[in-house]
Amino acid sequence: GAGVSQSPSNKVTEKGKDVELRCDPISGHTALYWYRQSLGQGLEFLIYFQGNSAPDKSGLPSDRFSAERTGGSVSTLTIQRTQQEDSAVYLCASSGGQQSYEQYFGPGTRLTVT
Amino acid sequence: AQTVTQSQPEMSVQEAETVTLSCTYDTSENNYYLFWYKQPPSRQMILVIRQEAYKQQNATENRFSVNFQKAAKSFSLKISDSQLGDTAMYFCAFIGSGSARQLTFGSGTQLTVLP
């Protein structure tokens, strides 16, 4: 597709369950980012992938959060043992090409932990 | 560390009028990029306009323009001829040219265009 896609659009899960969120970046973009948007914390950076380099995980809030990017394309954000404070919108963005400082966002996944 | 401040949580403007959203930032870097993103109720973050710090000329994109004051670390967004579709949350964002490539966002300004 032409833009960044994310799935699922919405996810409701019970506290303690694991969840996986998927991001499919714009074709050819080498950089991929995950952000979290919550009412209390605004927009926070989580993790950044650039090509085959080791990811920048400096924004991950706890070791329950992890992410991988397979084949330099699709990325999965995994949250283990979800807590109510994990409820938020998780946004994925990608960038690349000549205008590599511009990030293009997907529609996000709204996660609700009950 | 960089910080971005948007001091106007909410603003409103009449349709066809002009409105200016404020943003200030703090950084020790000399080269960086600034952006305004729009987030309508659909949740999709849409890039509105970008400004490179090394360019003195203010960026413009149709009805959207910025007033970039590097010395004052100010980056305001002007929307001319406001339209109902401009109703959204607007975020100011910063990215440095160094190795830390993530965006730092302000807290956002909710703009409502009134008919």
**B81-105 per-position pLDDT tens digit:** 999 999 999 999 999 877 668 899 9
In this complex, which of A33, A50, A108 lies closest to B43 when CB atoms are compared? A108
A91/B108 touch (CB, cutoff 8 Å), yes or no = no
A42/B103 touch (CB, cutoff 8 Å), yes or no = no
Which chain B residues touch A31 with a CB distance below 8 Å? Answer: 101
Radius of gyration, CA atoms only, chain A: 13
Q: Are B94 and B33 in contact (CB under 8 A)?
A: yes
Q: Are B58 and B71 in contact (CB under 8 A)?
A: no
Q: For residue B36, what are its two tokens?
A: 């305004």
In this complex, which of B44, B45, B107 lies closest to A42 when CB atoms are compared? B107
Interface mutation vs chain A, best among B33, B55, B101, B104, most A CBs within 10 Å: B101
Output the pLDDT for position A8. 97
Output the pLDDT for position A1. 53
Shortest CA distance to A6 belongs to which of A71, A69, A60, A74?
A74
Output the pLDDT for position A97. 54
How many residues make up chain B in this entry?
115
Within 10 angstroms of residue A6's Cβ, the number of other Cβ atoms is 21
The torsion region of residue A81 among left (phi > 0), alpha (psi -120 to 50) and beta comes to left
For residue A36, give Cα distances in angstroms to A88, A103, A108.
7, 15, 9
Query: How far does the CA of residue A18 sit from the closest CA of chain B (Å)?
Result: 24
